[in-house]
Amino acid sequence: MDRSAEIREFLRTRRARITPEQAGLAPYAGVRRVPGLRREEVAQLAGVSVDYYIRLERGRTHGVSESVLDAVARALQLDDTERAHLFDLAQPSATGARRHPPLSPQRVRPVVYQALDALTVPALIQGRRMDVLAANRLASAVFTDFQARPHRERNFARYVFLDPAARDLYADWERAAGDCVANLRLYAGRHPDDARLTELIGELSVHSDAFRRLWAGHDVLAHTTGTKRLHHPLVGDITLDYVVMAVEGDPDQALVILTPEPASPSSEALAILASWTSTPLTRPHPEQTHNPAS
């Protein structure tokens, strides 16, 4: 991925969403040709020269200090996730230098499969670029049976954007789609040399107008907790709270657990679904406990 283009569009979209009044500046007396803040105003707020900020927004980040990045983040009112993304994008480009080695395949340890088996609520292991590495029977019943799909299609973003069933499942599909894209954007800042990510973005861009529109927004999001409102074809409406937890030993692997409110209609619906899907999690052979596409 082109870091210069990424940082340019990220900073441009961030300043476009803030008005001078929101930034504490006096209203601009002239004709505003851009939405939000002008480059000169961001430079003023960050305490840097206009030329310096313009170079930064053009992706010329060589030698930029953390204090300057912090000042720009404050000027643009970035949240913690956006600030971290800015710092990722501002890292020196690999162009002309030794590129990062290929990412090693991701493996799901047997003890993690045991944990998924033991959970009585939907749970899955999500890897790089939102690949689904493993899912228990309830997660497969709520969403889709990822294990039955070809390896390259075991990806949550592909499911949300390319599977028509996902549009019917999500009560607020647009929000779910936006969250997927924002999560991929955050990952892209950390792994710009991931060829599989480039392939995924290309495929989604070709086949989904919605993905192209959302990807152009440059929003970023770190999934930690939230709520999913679903309309399941078998048991009707389900509301599930989710929490995302890191899996020790792999920083790009996370355990996602979804739970209904106790004694709620969603809990009853999930219990009915569980009674219809009693097959335990199918574990691959020990030599195959990884995603070869990783």
Write the pLDDT tens digit of every residue in 182-210.
Answer: 999 999 999 988 999 999 999 999 999 99
* 28 & 116 share domain: no
Q: Between 294 and 28, name the one with better pLDDT.
A: 28
One domain, residues 77 and 114: no
> Where do runs of H (alpha helix) occur along 62-144?
66-75, 80-89, 110-118, 137-142
CB atoms inside a 10 Å sphere around CB 249: 9
Of residues 55, 47, 45, 53, the one with CA closest to residue 77: 45
What pLDDT sits at residue 291?
A: 52
What pLDDT is stored for residue 290 in this prediction? 47
Residue 98 lies in a domain: no
Last residue of a domain, one of 61, 89, 117: 89
CA–CA gap between residue 114 and residue 104 (Å, rounded): 23
Does residue 204 share a domain with residue 170? yes
Question: pLDDT tens, 100-146?
Answer: 667 788 889 999 999 999 999 999 999 999 999 999 999 999 999 99
User: Tens of pLDDT along 34-55?
Assistant: 788 999 999 999 999 999 999 9
Residue type, 171: A
Asked if residue 160 and residue 22 are part of one domain, the reply reads no
Is residue 154 assigned to a domain?
Answer: yes
Position 150 pLDDT exceeds 70: yes
Last residue of a domain, one of 89, 119, 143: 89
Domain containing residue 68: 3-89
- Say if 131 falls within a structural domain: yes
Same-domain status, 57 and 142? no
Q: H/E element holding 227?
A: strand 225-232
- HSE of 94, CA atoms in CB hemisphere, 13 A: 14
- 59-105 pLDDT, tens digit per residue, is 888 888 999 999 999 999 999 999 999 999 997 544 444 456 677 88
Same domain, 59 and 156: no
- Same domain? For 123 and 209 the reply is yes
* Co-location of 62 and 162 in the same domain: no
pTM: 0.85
| pLDDT value, residue 21 | 87
How many domains does the structure of the chain reveal?
2
> Does 283 lie in the same domain as 224?
yes
277 within 8 A of 141, measured Cβ to Cβ: yes
- Domain-located, residue 282: yes
Locus of tokens 């961001």: 42
User: For the domain that residue 59 is a member of, what is the CATH number?
Assistant: 1.10.260.40
Residue 101 within a domain: no
